[in-house]
Structure 1
Amino acid sequence: MPNAKLQSYLHFHVIVFIWGFTAVLGALISIDALPLVFYRMWLASGFIFLWILYKKKPLKMTAKQLLILASAGIVIALHWLTFFEAIKVSNVSITLALIATGAFFTSIMEPIFYKRKVIWYEVFFGVLVIAGLYIIFNVETDYVLGIILALISAFLSAVFSLINGKLAQKGDASVISFYELLIGVIAITIYLGFDTFIGEASAGFTSEFFQLSNQDWLLLLVLASVCTAYAFIASVAVMKYLSPYTIMLTINLEPVYGIILAFFIFGSKEEMNPEFYYGALIILSTVVLNGILKNKDGIGRFAKRRKMR
């Protein structure tokens, strides 16, 4: 089925391009990270719920599954909060370059989580990632907070992928996503509600929280529908026709697409010191090489797991 494979390959590139555009949208939306994630998760869970109704998928889950989904939902909420906050306090280039370390964190935790042996080249790539981070920390001293937040976000992304790797084996991916997003945003809602009653006047659900510009509403709808609900549902469909190797290499283009997009949209704000690009290139290269070697060894678990950005 060569035509289906080619169409799926091109379609997947579009999806990865959309994932890269997520960071740009985060910079364009004027509201803070917390309300941004709140609105994104509410809207995206609603869109996925409509898809589930359309496909007539069963929503039944056991208590144990819901407990695991709850932990995954909270992790993805924290991942997005740190991701968008990193963009707000630094820029898209810094955030996307550091998010690529998620594969490094996964390689550290996966042997423990899945009870497998540590692979020699993962240790070597880990050293290279640390070297890349050292270069970036040294040259981009104005963005230390953004770098730290992006690293936390990358770590949470790795935790989420490991949890989801087991969940995806036992349930429908869209139903799992619906519960994760819904539970994650319920947790944020409880936090905001608590803040409203005991926090300062500027905390929680204030009148300003619900006063969004028309542009922000439009960008949030694009973020929730196209970049979240559509990109996920479409990625699940096209991955049936692609090898884990192709998936891994294509996903690794996300920060490249995002950084290029950000440069064209934001211009000089995204220009970094040359040393930053050396450090980012080291990190991205280790991620690509890790994917190639995993595919040859027949491991490739990370490539098979669902991605959320």
Structure 2
Amino acid sequence: MLGDKLKNYLHLHLLVFIAGFTAILGKLITISAIPLVWFRMLIAGVLMLVFIKLSKIRLKITLKTFFKFALAGIIVALHWITFFGAIDVSNVSITLVMFSTGAFFASFIEPIVYKRKIVWYEIIFGIIVIMGVSIILNTEFKYINGILLGMSSAFLSALFSVLNGKFVERHNAATISFYEFICGVAFISIYLAFSADGFMKEDFFNLTQKDWIYLFILASVCTAYAFIASTHIMRYISPYTVVLTYNLEIIYGIVLALILFPIDEKMSAGFYYGSLLVIATVLANGILKNRRKRKSLSGIDIS
């Protein structure tokens, strides 16, 4: 019988696999990025509300807090739109590698939000990441739109994560996510109400059976379940281990894409060299951050 610690580690890797599978679903779903994100946030918001009611979690917040959550909801909506948009105009591999640069956007956003100084190695790592992206850009310039959208998605994801890090200090994570989802839906709905490809389109809700199935999996397993399960995992596994392990999302996603879409996902050698440089730097950054945090807690100044 598996021990509890091993079960939690296996569960964590399942969640990382699910995160990597999100990009695959974005490739499989035939509707464009904006309606896709609208359906995802709507279904996930309903499922999250059910979870909140069953768990008897308090939903009451102040108007000021609501506006803060609304802003974060708009940011995460734009993050997902640019993420799936990058897949539409390039492929899964390009999108995931560009998305991994979010850790370095966070390194420059965090000092502003938390009012701390930038660490010297974060600047060096940022330069190395730029070098890796440059190699990819030079060898895969035909995917320039996907590269730009992927990096935009990474920036928005980093901004959203930093803001949420402030929110969870005072509010329940499920409550935060619920308001972010519904505000994201409201934001996208304004666009869809006036867009020719939005609600005015006769077949907007007339999706194929496969699209409905993939959307439900995306909203339930990859969004609502992944959130609830990751919150549970954090009780038994250190946040550092969780964050570092989630970097494998890129590898899982690219391997899955190569298996499922071998023609679309076959890239040049330069792409893999650049990707290796980016991914290795992301992992090194996580390791050094954890080391710095441990020394800081031990009272050692390593600034």
If the length of structure 1 is used for normalisation, what is the TM-score?
A: 0.93
Deviation at 1:64, TM superposition (A): 1.4
Gaps of at least 5 residues in structure 1 are 301-309
Structure 2 residue 250 is matched with structure 1 residue 255 = yes
Q: How does 1:107-186 map to 2 (within 5 A)?
A: 107-186=107-186
CA–CA distance in structure 1, aligned partners of residues 282 and 66 of structure 2: 32
1:32 paired residue number:
32
- Name the CA distance, whole Å, in 2 between partners of 1:21 and 1:171: 29
Q: In 2, are the aligned partners of 1:20 and 1:255 still within 8 Å (CA)?
A: yes
Please state how far the C-alpha of 1:204 moved relative to its aligned partner. 4.5
Task: Give unmatched runs, 5+ long, in structure 2.
Answer: 296-303
Question: For residues 172-251 of structure 1, what are the structure 2 equivalents within 5 Å?
Answer: 172-195=172-195, 200=196, 202-251=197-246
Cα distance in 1 for partners of 2:200, 2:279 equals 39
Once superposed, which parts of structure 1, at least 4 consecutive aligned residues long, lie more than 4 Å away? none
In structure 1, what is the Cα distance between the partners aligned to 2:294 and 2:105? 16
2:271 to 271, 276, 281: 276
Which secondary structure does the structure 1 equivalent of 2:37 belong to? helix
Supply the distance in 2 between the matched residues of 1:83 and 1:148 (Cα, whole angstroms): 10
Q: Does the 8 Å CA contact 1:4/1:241 hold for their aligned counterparts?
A: no
1:289 and 1:94 mapped to 2: Cα distance? 21
Hey, what does 1:65 align to over in structure 2? 65
Identity %: 53
- Of 254, 257, 261, 1:266 maps to 261
Q: Tell me the secondary structure at the aligned position of residue 211 of structure 1.
A: coil
Count of residues paired in the alignment: 294
**How many angstroms does 1:37 deviate by?**
0.5
What is aligned with 1:289? 284
Distance in 1 (CA, whole Å) between partners of 2:49 and 2:109 is 32
- Tell me the TM-score normalized by structure 2: 0.94
Structure-2 residue corresponding to 1:303: none
**Within 2, Cα distance between the matches of 1:53 and 1:88?**
36
Q: CA deviation at 1:84?
A: 0.2
Distance across 1 between alignment mates of 2:78 and 2:58: 28
